[in-house]
Chain A
Amino acid sequence: AQKITQTQPGMFVQEKEAVTLDCTYDTSDQSYGLFWYKQPSSGEMIFLIYQGSYDEQNATEGRYSLNFQKARKSANLVISASQLGDSAMYFCAMSSTAGSYQLTFGKGTKLSVIP
């Protein structure tokens, strides 16, 4: 069974500062994908970034980067130069090897950006 753990229920960050949101995972699969989603108060889940288990380089998408440490089973999201619009819930999720067609989500971290 897969499991995603996000240990930070809530975090605060000053505007324009960088912030790291933690995610650890547990799986027996050799091949898996890791995703981060953002959920504003409106409810829609917005895809941010993806990292494959065999990708050698950390993924980056604009101000988002993923600090992937396979041996430690961690996939932390780094947001650089935080903006007020970054205030939202952030979810880490995992896909397994082809066949299960589902994402397993963590409980999420609520990020609040302070002006």
Chain B
Amino acid sequence: KAGVTQTPRYLIKTRGQQVTLSCSPISGHRSVSWYQQTPGQGLQFLFEYFSETQRNKGNFPGRFSGRQFSNSRSEMNVSTLELGDSALYLCASSPSTGGIRDTQYFGPGTRLTVL
């Protein structure tokens, strides 16, 4: 099976712009989660989608949003970019069979730089 894919791999934006990141999960996986990774804060959970519904959201401002399509592909959007949004954004998919054993498999990430 192909792994989780994320596009684009690298992005450079300026403050105030908006950006959309894309994630295609492993075939058959219905849950997609997004994480932000920065040197200072580490890995932080953004949100999780299952069957086009957001089931959980982390502690991020409303500028961060996401959605999931019927084929389980997901996008996240960041509006009005700030310098502090520079980070590696990781997408993960899981079968979501339920419970604690559900393993998340990560994509290669999108590295966003805000100038």
Contact = CB atoms under 8 A, between A and B. Distances in A.
Interface string B25-50: 00000010101000000110100101
Interface in B84-115: 88, 90, 92, 96, 98-109, 111
A53 B42 contact: no
Nearest to B55: A101
A12 interface: no
Given A44-B108, A44-B109, A102 B101 contact: no
B14 interface: no
> Of residues B33, B99, B100, B107, which shows the largest number of chain A Cβ atoms within 10 Å of its Cβ?
B100
B68 to A, nearest CB: 13
Max count, chain A CB within 10 A of own CB: residue among B33, B56, B101: B101
Contact of A45 (B92, B96, B98): B92
B8 interface: no
Given A44-B108, A91-B43, A101-B50, A50 B31 contact: no
Chain B interface size range: 20 to 34
Contact of B106 (A31, A44, A104, A106): A44
Interface residues of A, number: 29
A105 B103 contact: no
Given A45-B90, A107-B42, A108-B42, A98 B105 contact: no
Contacts of B104: 35, 47, 103
The residue among B31, B43, B92, B96 with the most chain A CB atoms within 10 A of its own CB is B43
A102 B100 CA distance: 10
A98 B99 contact: yes
A43 B45 contact: no
A101 B95 CA distance: 12
B109 A43 contact: yes
Contacts of A103: 33, 35, 43, 45, 92, 104
10 contacts: A31-B99, A33-B100, A35-B104, A43-B109, A50-B103, A100-B56, A102-B45, A102-B56, A103-B35, A107-B42
Given A37-B106, A103-B45, 20 more contacts: A32-B100, A33-B100, A33-B102, A35-B104, A42-B108, A43-B90, A43-B111, A44-B108, A50-B103, A91-B43, A95-B100, A97-B99, A98-B98, A101-B33, A101-B50, A101-B56, A103-B33, A104-B45, A105-B35, A107-B42
